[in-house]
């Protein structure tokens, strides 16, 4: 029997709670998978010993820092900061190929509520989406991958300036550098290769930092979340293939 998921406490005061969400865990219980009886919200509530309030979300497949309000007022204030783009969000991603050393992707994206709607529907109108990135490392695995004699990938730091549905995953896919392990927007052949040769069993995307002004004290808060063990295991194995 699988052990129940757990979350690590990253930050707590009387107004806010931050935890490290593992990959595969929903923020809330979802009809998408009724077999998942535990969600991050419940685990955060148990950790705090009281009700907590959702401020933002992470995709189920994405691991990393997740912020909750200890009071509804703090949650509302922080949600406003996210909406006004006053929160700096930092991610780490492993993507296909050798991407540029730095760049900005600004392809407009349809929001989550606009998916599947007719193009003339107002919700289906693409919205501004901005993603900045810097390449941290580049790798060449000695396995042939068209059109190269090796399989290439890059570890990148990512700062989304907006919060559109699957923004990082969609932007890197549009740039022909899909995130490794992405079953929705990625390269299935590449995903299979990384799964079979490097043991990649998750989406290689991790939320590793949040920076914002405290909603009560107004002090600058920076929360760092090391990538999860299963993410680090892959990047450690790639070190021998650095270029």
Provide the residue ranges of all domains of the chain, joining segments of one domain with +: 8-241
Tell me: the pLDDT tens digits for 181-234? 999 998 999 999 999 989 999 999 999 999 999 999 999 999 999 999 999 999
pLDDT at 112 over 70: no
Q: Is 59 a catalytic residue?
A: yes
What is the pLDDT averaged over residues 70-89? 97
Q: Among 138, 134, 137, 136, which Cα is nearest to 104's?
A: 134
Mean pLDDT on 77-90:
97
- Rounded Cα gap, residues 70 and 12, in angstroms: 9
Homologous superfamily (CATH) for 8-241: Pseudouridine synthase (3.30.2350.10)
Beta strands in the chain (DSSP E): 8-12, 16-21, 53-54, 63-69, 88-96, 102-105, 131-141, 151-160, 205-213, 220-224
Point out the catalytic residue in the list 33, 59, 157, 187. 59
3-state secondary structure of 171: helix
- Which ranges constitute the DSSP H helices of the chain? 40-48, 72-83, 167-174, 188-198, 229-238
Mean pLDDT, the chain, as a whole number?
A: 91
Mention every residue, 6+ apart, whose C-beta is less than 8 A from residue 186: 96, 169, 173, 178, 179, 180
If pLDDT is split at 50, 70 and 90, which confidence band does 176 have?
very high
**pLDDT given for residue 1 in this prediction:** 44
């Amino acid at each position: 029997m699988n052990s129940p998921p757990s979350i690590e406490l990253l930050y707590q005061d009387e107004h806010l709670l931050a935890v490290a969400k593992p990959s595969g865990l929903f923020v809330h219980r979802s009809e998408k998978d009724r077999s998942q009886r535990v969600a991050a919200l419940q685990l955060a509530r148990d950790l705090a010993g009281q009700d907590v309030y959702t401020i933002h979300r992470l995709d189920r497949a994405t691991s990393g820092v997740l912020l909750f309000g200890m009071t509804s007022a703090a949650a509302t204030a922080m949600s406003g900061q996210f909406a006004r783009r006053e929160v700096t969000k930092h991610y780490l991603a492993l993507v296909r190929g050798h991407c540029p050393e730095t760049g900005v992707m600004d392809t407009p994206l349809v929001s989550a509520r606009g998916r599947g709607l007719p193009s003339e529907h107002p919700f289906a109108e693409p919205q501004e989406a901005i993603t900045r990135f810097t390449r941290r490392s580049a790798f060449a695995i000695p396995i042939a991958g068209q059109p190269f004699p090796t399989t290439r990938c890059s570890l990148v730091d990512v700062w989304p300036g907006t919060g559109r549905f699957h923004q990082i995953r969609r932007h890197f896919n549009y740039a022909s550098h899909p995130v490794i392990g992405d079953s929705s927007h990625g390269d299935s052949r590449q995903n299979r290769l990384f799964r079979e040769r490097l043991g990649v069993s998750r989406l290689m995307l991790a939320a590793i930092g949040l920076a914002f002004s405290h909603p009560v004290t107004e002090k600058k808060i920076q929360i760092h979340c090391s990538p999860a063990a299963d993410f680090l295991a892959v990047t450690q194995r790639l070190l021998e293939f650095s270029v």
